[in-house]
Structure 1
Amino acid sequence: MAAESVDVDPQVSATHRPVSDRLYNADLAPPQQRRWKTYSIFALWMNDVHNIGNYTFAAGLFAIGLGALPSFFALLLGILVVFWGMNLMGYMGQKTGVPFPVMSRISFGVHGAQIPALIRAVIAIAWYGIQTYLASLAVVVLALRISPALLPLTQDSILGLSTLGWICFLSLWAVQLFILSFGMEVVRKFQDWAGPIVWLVMLGLAIWMLVLVGDRITWTPPNALSGPAMWWEMLGAAGLTISTYGTLMLNFCDFSRFAPNRKSIVRGNFWGLPVNFTAFAMVSIVVTAGSLALFGDVITDPAKIIAKVPNTFVLVVGALLFAFATIGVNIVANFVSPAYDLANLAPKYINFRRGGIISAVAAVAVLPWNLYNSPAAVNYFLGGLGALLGPLFGVIIVDYWLIRRARINVPDLYTTDPAGEYAYRHGVNPRALAAFLPAAAISMVLALAPTFSTVSAFSWFIGAIIAGAIYLVIADRKRQFTDVSGAHLSQATIASGIH
C-alpha cells in the first residue's frame, strides 16, 4: 500500500509524514484506553516490592550492623529519590502514551533507540530466567516436603539442572508466559490482587515471629555500627536502593502510559514506594530481628524461616506465595520490558505477545542457573550492563525535561522521513551517544573495579548525573521542538495505511 500521511493534530499540518512499519505497530502506539488508575499503579509496586530480593536486601542491612531506625532512614532516603525519578518518567509515559523503546527515540533517534532498548532487553531476559529459577528452588523444596519419593529426580543433571528442577522451573515459566500472552490488561488484573496477598503472608510471618519472641526481640544487631561507619553504610543502602530500581525507572513509562492522568501516577507511586516499600522493609527487619531472638542467628532468607515452621500447611502456603511473589516481580520488572524492546526491533513482524514469547524462550536458552551460580557472570556481565542504565536515564530525562521542556511530536516517533524531528543523522543522535558513552564507561568502572568498591553502590547515580550534565552542555538548543499528541495515532494509521 502506498504511504500516506497520518491524520494528526491540525497544528502540525506542515509536518504530516508517513508512518513506517519499521517503527510502528499497534502495541508500540499510544493506547486507546487508559485504565491504570491509582490502585493499579499502587498494586504494580506491591508486586515489585514484595519479593525475596527486597526482603533479603532489607534483612541484610540488619545483618551488617544497621539497626532498625538507621535502616529505616537509609531506605526512606533512597526510595524518595526513586519516587522522584518514577514521577518524571511516569509523566513522560502518561503524556506521550509510548513505551520505553519508543520514548528512547526522542533522545537517541528513531534507529539509535535500538541501543538502549537492546541493553535493557538483555538485562531483563537474563534476570527473568534467574528469578524464575530462584522461585523454582522454593517449589522444589516444597515438592520434596510433600512427597519425599521425588528425591531420586533431584540426583541427575540435565544441562546443569535436575529433572525435578526442570519440571518446577518450566511450570513457573509456563504460568508467567500464560499471563503475558493475554496482554497488558490481564497483567493489570493479575497484579491488582497478587500484591496484597503477599502482604498478608509477610504480616502473618511478622506477627507469628513477634508472638513467639515477645519482649526478647532486639532492634539493634550484636554487631551494631556507629559513627562514620554507620552513616556510610546508610548512604550505601540508599544508593543501592536507587540502583535496584534503576531498571524500573526506565521501564515505568511502559506502565504509566496506560494511566489516565498525572494524579493517578503520583498517588499510586506515593503509596506504592515511600509508604509501601519502607513498610515492607521494616516488616522484613522485624522478622529478621525476631529470627535472631528465636533461633540465635540472623536469617536473611525468608524461605529458611518458613522451613522452620512446624506446621506443614503453613509451610506449603508460605512457599507457594513466595514463589507467587517472584512471578509478580518478574512480570513487572523483567517480562513486559523485553516484550516491548523486541517488538521495537521489527514491529512489522513482532508484536507485544510475540516479543514476550521470544523473551521467554531466550530466558530458558541462557540456562539461568548457570548464570546465577557464576559470580563472574552476575557481577561482571549483568552488573556491568546494569551500570549502563543510569547514563541512559540521565540522557533521556535531561533531554525531555530540560532541553525539550516536555514538547514532543509523537507522530514523528514513527516516521523514517529524513525531515522527521527525530531523524537526526541517519536516524541516530550522535550528541546523545557522545553523552552516554563516557558516562557509561565511568559508571561501569565504578561498579566493577575492586578499587572503587567503596563507591560502587553509587555507580548508577553517578553515571546518570555525568551523562545528563554532558548532554545538557552539548545538546542542540537551536532546534524548534513541536508538541503534538499521539492520542489518535493508532486509529489513523489503521485507517490510512502504513508503508
Structure 2
Amino acid sequence: MAILTTLHEYLLVKSVDQNQNVRPVEFLDNDSIRPTPAKDRTWTPITYILFWFSATANVSNLYASSTGLTMGLSMWECVACTFGGQFMAGCLMAFNGRAGAMYRIPYPVLCRASFGPWGALWPTLNRAAMSIVWNGVNTVQGGQCLYVLLHAIFPSIARIPDHMGSKSALTSAQMLCFFVYWLVNCAFLIVPVPKMKSLVYIKVFVYYGGAFAMLGWVVSLAGGSPSSLGAPSKVHGEEKGWLICKFLFLGLASCGTFISNAADLQRYARKPSDVILGQIISFPVSGLLVAVIGNVIAASSESVFGELIWNPLNFLDKLMEGERYTPGNRAACAFISLAFVYSTVFSAIFENSIPAGNDIAALLPRYITVKRGFFICAILSFAICPWYLLATASVFITFLSSYQIFLSAIAGVLLCDYYVVRRGLLHIPELYTANPTGIYHFLHGFNLRGFCAYLVAVAPNFYGFLNQMGVKAPMGIKRFYFVAYPVGLLVAFGVYCLLSFLFPPAGMAKTREWKEPKDYWDEYDPARVEAVEGVDVIPVVVKGDDEKV
C-alpha cells in the first residue's frame, strides 16, 4: 500500500504559485497548460516567419502537391492548388490562433470556452488523435530518410530480407531504421519548447539546402529540362475542373491540424502581433516553394527512370540501384537524406508532438504534463502502425481528406465563440475549474450549443466521409466532399452564432465593442506585476453585466 501511495505521489503533477510555493491543483489544471509565463514568451516576428517557413519544410510536402500529377493535372496546376489552399489556411491560422497569442493558452483550454470543461474533452481527443497519426507519418518518413542515408554508407542493408508485405510503405530494413529514428526523435523531446528557437532557424537552412541540392542534381540528370515539366494536364473539361477544386481544398484541408495547432504555437509569442506575418505570408510562400521543388523533382523522374516517382525518398534510393551505386551518388544521397532526417525530426516535434502533448496533458492534468504528453504521443504513434498510411499516393490522399470534416467543424465553433460571442474576452481562471457556478460550466460541463453546431456541420459531409472509408456513393456526394472543409467551418460558425443569439450563454458580450485586453499575464506568473512595454498593471477582468476590462 505504501508503494502505491508513493507511486501516486510521484505521478501527481506538482504546480507552483507566483512565489514558487506548491499550490493545490484542480482536476483541470497544471502549470504546463496554464498561460505561458512572461519568461517563456521569447518568440519574435523573425521566429514566427522562419517557423512557418519551416513548417512546410518536410518530406511529405514535397510529394503532397505532386500527387496531383498522378491524377492527371499539370505541374503548375498542382502548384497553384497548393498555394491557394495554403494561403487560405494561413489566414485561418491567424484568426484561430488569436486567443493563444493574446491569452497564451493552448488549444484544449481554448476549447473549454466553447464546449465546456468536460465537453472540451471530445475536440481535444479528436485533435490529439490526428496529431498522433501525423507524428506516426512523420516518423515513417524519418525512417525512410534514415534508410537512404544508411544505404548510401552500407550497401548490405538493401539485402535484408523483406517480411513486411505489399501493404506496408516500409521494408524490413526500413523498419529497423524507423525504430532507430523513433529513438532519436524521443531524445529531442526533452528540450523545452521556448528554447527551440535555434532549432527552428537551423531547420530552415538544413532542409532547403538539401531540397535545392536534390533539385539541381535531378534536373541535371534529366538533361536540364524534364520532359513532363511543361506538359499539359491529361484531363479536361468538367473532370479537370473538379480535380482542381479537389486539390485546392485538399491544400486547405491538409493544413487542418495546423489551423487547430495555431494557439499551441502562438502562446510563446513575445507580443500578440508577432505571429501575423509568419502565418499569412511566409507559410503559403514556403508552401509554394516546396510545391515547386517537389513537382520538378517528380517531373524529372520520368526523364530519368521512365516512370513517375512521387516520393523523393524512393527517387533517392533508386539513384543508388545497380550501376548507379557509385561513390558520387552515394555521397550526394547521404548528405541530402541527412538533411531530410534532421528536418523531419523537428517537423514531428513542432507540428505533432507539441499539439499532442498539450492535448494529452489537458485530458488528465493532475497526472500528465505537456512533456509527459510528448512521450505518450511518441509511444502511441508507434503503436498505430503508420507505415500502412503511406503505401500509395491514393492512400495518402484518402488519409489527408478523411479527417477534415471533424476539424473544420471544431474550428468554426471556436472562431464564432471568440470573435462573435465573446468579442475577444475570456475569463481565464474559470477555464481551469469545474465549478458548477463557473460561466463556462454550461449544462453539467457541456455546452450544447457547441455540440449542436458541431454535429450539424459534420452531417452534410458524413456520407462523403464514409465514401472515403470505402462505402459506395454517387458522384455528386464524392464531389461535394471536395469542399467539405469550408462547408463544415461555415456551417458550424453559422449554427453556433444562431444558437448563441437565441440562447445567450453566460459571459456573452452585450455590445459590439471589442473586449480583448492589451495583454494578459497569468495569476501565478511571477512577472505579472512588472511593467511590460509601459503597462504597469495587469489587466483585471471584472465580471458583471458590462464585463469590462
TM-score, scaled to structure 1: 0.86
Which of residues 35, 39, 45 is equivalent to 1:30? 35
Identical amino acids, percent of aligned pairs: 24
Offset, 1:363: 1.9
My pick for the range that moved more, 225-234 or 359-368, is 225-234
Q: Distance between the aligned counterparts of 1:105 and 1:456, measured in 2?
A: 29
Are the structure 2 counterparts of residues 47 and 284 from structure 1 closer, same or farther at C-alpha, using a change threshold of 3 Å? same
- CA displacement, residues 140-162 of structure 1 (integer Å, 9 cap, x when unaligned): 3443442233456545679x987
Q: Does 1:116 align with 2:123?
A: yes
Match of 1:96 in 2: 103
Partner of residue 384, structure 2: 366
Q: Distance in 1 between matches of 2:413 and 2:156?
A: 56
Specify the code of the residue in structure 2 equivalent to 1:402: V
Distance 1:175 1:42, change over 3 A: farther
* Residue 390 (str. 1) matches residue 402 (str. 2): no
Q: CA RMSD in A?
A: 3.2
Q: Could you tell me whether the CA contact under 8 Å between 1:398 and 1:471 is conserved in 2?
A: yes
Q: Tell me how far 1:115 sits from its aligned partner.
A: 0.7
Structure 2 residue 498 is the aligned partner of structure 1 residue 473: yes
CA distance in 1, matches of 2:441, 2:336: 52
**Structure 2 residue 411 is matched with structure 1 residue 401:** no
Counterpart check, 1:278 vs 2:288: yes
2: distance between equivalents of 1:70 and 1:437? Answer: 34
Q: Is the contact between residue 439 and residue 466 of structure 1 (CA under 8 Å) also seen in structure 2?
A: yes
Name the structure 1 match of 2:92.
85
Q: Which residue of 1 aligns with 2:206?
A: 197
Of residues 324, 334, 338, the one that matches 1:320 is: 338
Report the CA distance shift for 1:478/1:22 in structure 2 as closer, same or farther (over 3 A): closer
CA distance in 1, matches of 2:298, 2:160: 33
> What residue ranges of structure 1 are gaps of 5+ in the alignment?
1-5, 8-17, 495-499
| Alignment match of 1:230 (pick from 237, 240, 243) | 240
- In the TM superposition, residue 317 of structure 1 has moved relative to its aligned partner by 1.4
**Distance change in 2, residues 1:386/1:68 (3 Å):** closer
Task: Classify the secondary structure of the residue corresponding to 1:491.
Answer: coil
For residues 74-120 of structure 1, give each alpha carbon's deviation from its aligned partner in whole angstroms, at most 9, with x where no partner exists: 22321221111011022221111100100101100112111100111
Per the alignment, in what secondary structure is the counterpart of residue 214 of structure 1? coil
CA distance in 2, matches of 1:216, 1:427: 59
Q: CA deviation at 1:402?
A: 1.6
How many Å separate the matches in 2 of 1:375 and 1:74? 17
Are 2:202 and 1:175 aligned? no
Query: Among residues 175, 180, 193, which one is paired with 1:184 in the alignment?
Result: 193
Residue in structure 2 matched with residue 13 of structure 1 by the alignment? none
Contact 1:447 1:457 in 2 (8 A): no
Distance 1:55 1:113, change over 3 A: same
Taking a change above 3 Å as real, the CA distance of residues 164 and 392 of structure 1, as seen in their structure-2 partners, is same
User: Which digits, 9 at most, give the CA deviation of each residue in 1:28-50, with x for residues without a partner?
Assistant: 11112311222322333233312
Residues matched between the structures, number = 479
Looking at structure 1, the residues matched to 164 and 215 of structure 2 have their Cα atoms a distance apart, in angstroms, of 37
Q: How many angstroms apart in 1 are the aligned matches of 2:144 and 2:80?
A: 33
What is the SS of the residue equivalent to 1:27?
Answer: helix
Q: Any gaps of 5 or more consecutive residues in structure 2?
A: 1-16, 510-514, 529-549
Q: Which amino acid aligns with 1:182?
A: V
Residues 151 and 73 (structure 1), Cα distance of their counterparts in 2 relative to 1, 3 Å cut: closer
Do residues 456 (structure 1) and 474 (structure 2) align? no
Q: Give SS of 2:127's match.
A: helix
Q: 1:47–1:332: 8 Å Cα contact kept in structure 2?
A: no
State whether residues 86 and 283 of structure 2, in contact with CA within 8 Å, keep that contact through their aligned partners in structure 1: yes
Select 1:447's aligned residue among 459, 465, 487.
465
* AA in 2 matched with 1:326: T
Shift of 1:444: 3.1
Query: Which residue of the partner structure matches residue 11 of structure 1?
Result: none
Q: Which amino acid aligns with 1:27?
A: S
Could you tell me how far 1:345 is from its partner in structure 2?
Answer: 1.7
Deviates more, 1:462-471 or 1:209-218: 209-218
Partner Cα distance (1:84, 1:166) in 2: 38
Contact map agreement 1:63 1:221 (CA 8 A) in 2: no
Shift of 1:470: 1.1
- Pairwise CA distance, 1:268: 1.2
Match of 1:487 in 2: 521
> Is residue 440–residue 506 contact of structure 2 (8 Å, CA) maintained in 1?
no
CA contact 1:288–1:300 (8 Å) conserved in 2: yes
Separation in structure 2 between the aligned mates of residue 438 and residue 19 of structure 1, nearest angstrom:
40
Q: Secondary structure at the match of 1:173?
A: helix
Contact 2:152 2:331 in 1 (8 A): no
Deviation (angstroms), 1:260: 2.0
Alpha-carbon deviation of 1:269? 1.5
Contact 2:79/2:292 (8 A) holds in 1: yes
Among 119, 123, 128, the residue aligned to 2:135: 128
In 2, are the aligned partners of 1:90 and 1:265 still within 8 Å (CA)?
no
**Take 1:27 and 1:295, find their aligned partners in 2: how far apart are those partners?**
51
Higher RCO (Cα < 8 Å, 6 or more apart): 1
Q: Higher mean Cα deviation, 205-214 or 457-466?
A: 205-214
| d(CA) in 2 for partners of 1:163, 1:290 | 28
In structure 2, distance between residues paired with 1:128 and 1:30:
25
Larger fraction in helix: 1
Contact 2:389 2:399 in 1 (8 A): no
Shift of 1:422: 0.8
Question: 1:67 and 2:74 equivalent?
Answer: yes
Q: Which residue is 2:13 aligned to?
A: none
Q: Distance in 2 between matches of 1:430 and 1:216?
A: 56
Distance in 2 separating the partners of 1:429 and 1:266: 30
Counterpart position of 1:3:
none
Q: Does 1:288 align with 2:298?
A: yes
Provide the rounded CA distance (Å) in 1 between the counterparts of 2:439 and 2:489: 25
Instruction: Return the offset for 1:453.
Output: 2.1
In structure 1, distance between residues paired with 2:174 and 2:315:
22
Tell me which moved more, 390-399 or 182-191. Answer: 182-191
Alignment of 1:233-252 (within 5 A): 233-252=243-262
Which position in structure 1 is the counterpart of 2:536? none
Compute the TM-score of the two structures, normalised by the length of structure 2: 0.79
Give the SS at the match of 1:76: helix
